Structure 1
Amino acid sequence: MRTTVALLFGGRSGEHGISCVTAGGILAAIDRERFDVIALGISREGRWVHVSADPSDWTMVDGRAPEVDPAGDEVLLPGVCHLPGRPITLRTVRDGIVRDLADIDVVWPLLHGAYGEDGTVQGMLEMLDIPYVGSGVLASATAMDKAATKLALRAAGLECAPGIVVHEDRWAADSHRVATHLRNNHPLPWFVKPARAGSSLGVTRVSDPAQLEVAMKSAFAEDPKVLVEEGLSAREVECGVLQGRDGAEPSTTLPGEVKVGADLEFYDYEAKYFGKGTVSIDVPAALPDAVLEEARETAVRAFTALGLEGLARVDMFVTSDHRVLINEVNTMPGFTPYSMFPVLWENMGLSYADLIGELIERARSRRLGAR
């Protein structure tokens, strides 16, 4: 019997369009002999609709990402929990009439950012006993919050970039004291970033304290909780992780390296998705074998410390003296054919289509929640 998988994408965060492009990549590559696919979009307003499963509808056009049209047939989720191991019936509403849409076996929430990657959708799926791809509620929420991530990782003995957390109300009440603390304790440059946003949205590199006010305003536009971190003189590497089967250790890729040209201050949102500046990616990273292995071991330790499931991409810094520090951990990394996570696994001999199939099959056998 074939597995029916519902791809869930779009969402209410600023990464709506990138989520749609990710879905397009998977729709184009998923093995239709093994999987029946239902495409579910979440509009920017939060409406769940049944949308086209044609990958050509979910690609970049003239540098613009696609969006979920809220005018589609509304999707109704089950009102009560179903029996574990049984398909879940989804329904739609059209012209005031409720119709069956499909019986699904697993959901893949291809959602980036708030209301999707932060444990909210995962909690809903747990309540309905619906198997899904990726980490659970607590792990998703912790990894989404960069400040919480660092607390958990440091408790496990893992090193992260130094910095402070600033809440919007504290900044409004006492920005001068915060700025003075930074000048006295953290050397420039600083990276100002929202604690709970992805794709470098709202991130600014500050090389002069006079730039701090504007940088904080940009970050607070995304999240009332902000990190200000010391910029490190280091190389940026990324490692893909897959959960081990039957209690085995997670498996990892060789790390890849993101190289940013002199025309960019850092690897920002426009550089990641819209071709801004000079960026090259080396897979594997040109680092000594011992450093590559340390990065892979660090990625496994981070995956385990955060209690992650399914998949993750662990982003790290490698300093000139070969210290490995964790930058952040992504529980639902970009997943187009050209995104770092699939490219890293392609380098390990696992094709994009096979990677998709592997994650879906693992999700089917996961144990949901605490019973």
Structure 2
Amino acid sequence: MPRPKLVLVYEPEKACLDRLVADGHAPERAAEIASYLAQSTDLAPEFDALAAACQKRGLCFAPLALDDAAGGLADEHADTTLVWTLTDGIAYFRGGAAPALARLNGLKTIGADDSLFALCQDKFRSGAVLGALGLPAPQAGLARDGHWLVEPPASPAGWFVKPNRLGAKIGIWPDSRSSDLSHALELSRRVFSAYRDDVVVQPYVAGRNVRASFLALKPDTGVEALGIAFVDSGGDFQTMADSLALYGDTGEAAKEAGQYAEPALLPVAASQPGAAATIRRIAARLMAGLGLRDVFSIDLRVEPNDNVHLIEFEVCPGLPCFDFRAYCHSQWGMDLADAMAETAASRFFS
């Protein structure tokens, strides 16, 4: 019998960039889109550390580029292989194919099933499901290239406009908070021209940004292991420029230029324990009703009165990002490589 093995499937930025350019995207826009795969770029230098952490626990480690996954997973043994998909995607990105390929070949996986990989990247559809589960997700309209597909609800505070399948919560530009719907339609034309995407138009919700991170180090880990932190970056919301400055090659360039500043992470429970308790209940509902498991993150907005708004969930949180590394240290007392290896080993040896 072969040694137990952790296979990490990842989609490289360069492969995505080349494919988008070949499909007719402008190179600058393609580079922005591909930047969402920067966690693959950022984690690759740690593959040796991951291999060592796995070996210490009796596992083999095998990173597998997505373009090689169809053949690579077909050769694996169902009883001894665990597949961890690093990046999601059904539109610009293709990582959602990996858990489906694992299921096709009878392989065990870390993370949600492949249906959620498809759902989480379509923000309009996922918002509808979250609403059906009774969760506090803002209602949304949907626009394509200046035309309403679904009109948004009225909002005295204005609206927030974001791409439907790209980046999830970011607003792309500083004027993504809109005070009138004609401007929201203009933003939809700009997004469609630049990225070929629809936009979600949601009522603007006030509050501070919160990231809730989860890693089930053991199979029976529950919502008590959720890490809940304010993410204070100095801005109301993240733009494309903000995102580019944090991760991947552009993040490295920002560090070298002295322009890199990680947002501050502050525990929500320290100042708003009621909001933290609400977020744990939301996470429990997502786990029970939606099927989130093993590893995920949730983005929320929290108002001073403890009112909580659920913005999105992610089945592939940015593992090498500053916030998830901080979570692994604070919750589990481990660096990222050891936390990942321990999670994988527990699925074989618990």
Please give the range of the TM-score, normalised by the shorter of the 2 chains: 0.7 to 0.9
2:104 aligned with 1:109: no
Instruction: Output aligned runs, 1:233-272, within 5 Å.
Output: 233-243=206-216, 249-261=222-234, 264=235, 266-272=237-243
Displacement of 1:25 after TM fit?
5.7
Give the alignment partner of residue 266 of structure 2, picking from 283, 287, 293.
283
Give the alignment partner of residue 24 of structure 1, picking from 44, 47, 56.
44
Are the aligned partners of 2:112 and 2:315 in contact in 1 as well (CA < 8 Å)?
yes
Give the alignment partner of residue 72 of structure 2, picking from 70, 73, 77.
77
Displacement of 1:335 after TM fit?
1.0
2:134 aligned with 1:140: no
Higher relative contact order (CA 8 A, sep 6+): 2
Could you say which residue in structure 1 is the equivalent of 2:61? 37
Higher strand share: 1
Displacement of 1:216 after TM fit?
0.9
Displacement of 1:136 after TM fit?
0.7
Is the radius of gyration larger for structure 1 or structure 2?
1
Displacement of 1:325 after TM fit?
1.6
How many Å separate the matches in 2 of 1:41 and 1:299?
Answer: 31
**Structure 1 stretches lacking a partner, 5+ long:** 50-74, 87-104, 367-371
How many Å separate the matches in 1 of 2:177 and 2:47?
Answer: 39
Displacement of 1:129 after TM fit?
1.5
After alignment, is 325-334 or 265-274 more displaced?
Answer: 265-274
2:165 aligned with 1:196: yes
Instruction: Output aligned runs, 1:172-191, within 5 Å.
Output: 174=147, 185-191=154-160
Give the alignment partner of residue 124 of structure 1, picking from 101, 107, 111.
101
Aligned length: 307
Instruction: Output aligned runs, 1:155-234, within 5 Å.
Output: 155-166=132-143, 168=144, 174=147, 185-198=154-167, 200=169, 203-204=172-173, 205-209=176-180, 211-220=183-192, 221-222=194-195, 224-234=197-207
Deviations 1:240-281 (A, max 9, x none): 1234856663443331111132xx452223323415786622
Are the aligned partners of 1:78 and 1:128 in contact in 2 as well (CA < 8 Å)?
yes
SS of aligned partner of 1:353: helix
Q: Which amino acid aligns with 2:79?
A: G
Percent of counterpart pairs with the same letter? Answer: 18
Could you say which residue in structure 1 is the equivalent of 2:303? 319
Q: RMSD in angstroms over aligned alpha carbons?
A: 3.4
Displacement of 1:158 after TM fit?
1.2
Could you say which residue in structure 2 is the equivalent of 1:347? 330
Displacement of 1:83 after TM fit?
6.0
2:333 aligned with 1:356: no
Are the aligned partners of 2:262 and 2:322 in contact in 1 as well (CA < 8 Å)?
no
Q: TM-score when scaled to structure 2?
A: 0.73
Deviations 1:70-101 (A, max 9, x none): xxxxx833658x76315xxxxxxxxxxxxxxx
Flag the 1:48–1:353 CA change in 2: closer, same or farther, 3 A.
Answer: closer
Flag the 1:232–1:243 CA change in 2: closer, same or farther, 3 A.
Answer: same
SS of aligned partner of 2:109: coil
SS of aligned partner of 1:198: coil
Could you say which residue in structure 2 is the equivalent of 1:329? 313
Are the aligned partners of 2:82 and 2:107 in contact in 1 as well (CA < 8 Å)?
yes
Higher helix share: 2
Are the aligned partners of 1:15 and 1:113 in contact in 2 as well (CA < 8 Å)?
no
Are the aligned partners of 2:162 and 2:199 in contact in 1 as well (CA < 8 Å)?
yes
Are the aligned partners of 2:208 and 2:303 in contact in 1 as well (CA < 8 Å)?
yes
Displacement of 1:208 after TM fit?
4.5
After alignment, is 156-165 or 320-329 more displaced?
Answer: 156-165
Q: Which amino acid aligns with 2:61?
A: V
Deviations 1:311-359 (A, max 9, x none): 11111111122111211101111011x4312312311233123321133
Are the aligned partners of 1:118 and 1:137 in contact in 2 as well (CA < 8 Å)?
no
Are the aligned partners of 1:112 and 1:332 in contact in 2 as well (CA < 8 Å)?
yes
Q: TM-score when scaled to structure 1?
A: 0.70
